[in-house]
Structure 1
């Protein structure tokens, strides 16, 4: 008999149906019931509860949302509300952050993670953009802060290109514009998949001939890559800083400065499609195992029960919703200090 109940909204195309089936089966093995198809776009909220297809969402032990292609403003609005009531993967705060390219890059910069040089401005201070363009030899990329798949990206080759773009910019009812320095690279990237702070896999993407966009939806193709430990460590740090439980970190090599640079951190990195699996990308099962471990541990920690792991043995850890200050005490070595008493009481 199931002791816990989890909600799931999973994309169904490109092999998503089979991924969902495997996740459900593995969680069922752990006595976790899974309610699928919980698209918050179809939900309503009243009397202090969110209702989706007959399910009171707050009664779930956890909600796992994994569908980039169909998410919309209303779905995100309710996702934010739900994330304050029950555990969600990803947690909304981290997911919302990484939906914004500028905020993500800004945070990474403050933690000394190499990212593309950039400027964010509005249509009233374009002159500052021109000054940066001159410093960047006129080459930059203008992109929406919250786009994906390479959509809406415009490459500038000179200051004149910006002048031609100005009428379009001034007509847009957007609060900001995000512009990055063009990084000299070989038109390939690394996509590092991370779940629960653990490295899952790496593959690369290569731009089509004559193009500079590596995104698959923009004509790029998947290639196999073996990452160095430096690349893996950089991705792990970036994911940890953003707070994502599930992350796909995009990294390129800056030829001019001879360093790896984090381009983006994504909160819904795709599983390998059936075609990609046939090409040798075989990380799906590992990713599913890590996800199920994460879900299982999270829901059991809410009531401080032992958690069943795919690894040998049992784990008994603190509830995940301890205040951060208590978490710090939990992790600290306080032997012989006055704070040791506080730690004992906290535990």
Structure 2
């Protein structure tokens, strides 16, 4: 199996032991699969064929067990390769999503197993996907408003039954730009909304205003879902000086056993994720409610592995291998049937 990881540059990995993408790459290399890496900016078309300027990992007979050693000792080479020649394209690029990248992938999506699917990425690349989930009684989704109309947002804050709400940019990630607002500090709301909505170039951005869920100050739960089923979870606890629980924002992790409500949530959204081709996602949950769906580069494998002494990446690569076998078997069957017709 040959896998192309569409991600950030190989040389930009700062903390190998904590990098989910590198953990997946390491597992592929351990199994003898070919691995190449390319960034969204390195996609190109030559003679009507979509190619990528790839960083190819040189194969080695002995793969270091330590991911840190693997990263340090692995040698690479550069080569332009056709994307349709790969068995799997694994999306691991960081948000925000580059729509041009998806246009390139459109040309090969029928030839390669893309995880996550191009259609799914288009629909779910930002927080609108979560906000638009069908949940009229707000059983699994907190009350959410998405707008760039400042007057409307202020009205929603004033009408909210809670004294607290969460404000965040629509295209933020890693906890960036997430702030807690309170009705008791309404004097700052105008300037905050101006800052979030209006850009220096005269354009404007959408923001998300979301119901504050009690217990959010104690952290959230990151759940990794593979093919619609949860495969790992961890509690993320905010640091002393930050309300955000993201590890990148100073949060810490702890073991977490899924509650009945969280299991129900996963059961409700799992089929929709699979239907949309979102096979490997990370969801953030607070108080049993879905706060965010991460579809581009969900992280957390390394931290869950440490907490539970497991290897979640094995399940992910097992799934990739099974999908490639299915596709190859379907192609062989179709080829054999066509040959039978031609030879009749």
Q: Shorter-chain TM-score category? A: 0.7 to 0.9
Structure-2 separation of matches of 1:85 and 1:19: 22
Structure-2 separation of matches of 1:69 and 1:102: 14
Q: Which among 265, 284, 299 is matched to residue 270 of structure 1? A: 299
Structure-1 separation of matches of 2:87 and 2:305: 32
Structure-1 separation of matches of 2:190 and 2:138: 33
Aligned residue in 2 for 1:96: 122
Q: Deviations over 1:172-213 (max 9, x none)?
A: 323522211222214221111121223211111001124321
Where do 5+ consecutive residues of structure 2 fail to align? 54-79, 335-344
TM (norm. structure 2) is 0.73
Aligned residue in 2 for 1:197: 228
Cα RMSD between the aligned structures?
3.1
SS of residue matched to 2:239? coil
User: Is residue 234–residue 304 contact of structure 2 (8 Å, CA) maintained in 1?
Assistant: no
User: Is residue 239–residue 249 contact of structure 1 (8 Å, CA) maintained in 2?
Assistant: no
Structure-2 separation of matches of 1:201 and 1:229: 15
Q: Which 10-residue stretch deviates more, 102-111 or 139-148?
A: 102-111
Relative distance call for 1:76 and 1:162 in structure 2 (3 A) is farther
Give the paired residue count.
289
Aligned residue in 1 for 2:36: 36
Matches within 5 A, 1:1-347: 4-9=1-6, 12=13, 13-15=15-17, 16=19, 17-26=22-31, 28=32, 33-53=33-53, 54-68=80-94, 75-79=101-105, 81-83=107-109, 85-109=111-135, 114-123=140-149, 126-136=150-160, 137=162, 139-158=164-183, 159-169=186-196, 171-172=198-199, 173-185=203-215, 186-242=217-273, 243=276, 244-253=278-287, 260-267=288-295, 268-273=297-302, 277-278=305-306, 280-283=307-310, 285=311, 287-304=312-329
Where do 5+ consecutive residues of structure 1 fail to align? 254-259, 308-317, 320-347
Relative distance call for 1:294 and 1:118 in structure 2 (3 A) is same
SS of residue matched to 1:146? coil
Structure-1 separation of matches of 2:292 and 2:255: 19
SS of residue matched to 1:68? coil
Structure-2 separation of matches of 1:245 and 1:291: 9
Relative distance call for 1:184 and 1:69 in structure 2 (3 A) is same
Deviation at 1:263, TM superposition (A): 0.7
User: Is residue 169–residue 196 contact of structure 2 (8 Å, CA) maintained in 1?
Assistant: no
Q: Which structure carries more relative contact order (alpha carbon 8 Å, separation 6+)? A: 2
Structure-1 separation of matches of 2:330 and 2:138: 38
Structure-2 separation of matches of 1:6 and 1:198: 23
Deviation at 1:67, TM superposition (A): 4.1
Deviation at 1:149, TM superposition (A): 0.8
User: Is residue 140–residue 179 contact of structure 1 (8 Å, CA) maintained in 2?
Assistant: yes
Aligned residue in 2 for 1:333: none
User: Is residue 143–residue 154 contact of structure 1 (8 Å, CA) maintained in 2?
Assistant: yes
Relative distance call for 1:45 and 1:165 in structure 2 (3 A) is same
Structure-2 separation of matches of 1:101 and 1:116: 13
Relative distance call for 1:171 and 1:190 in structure 2 (3 A) is closer
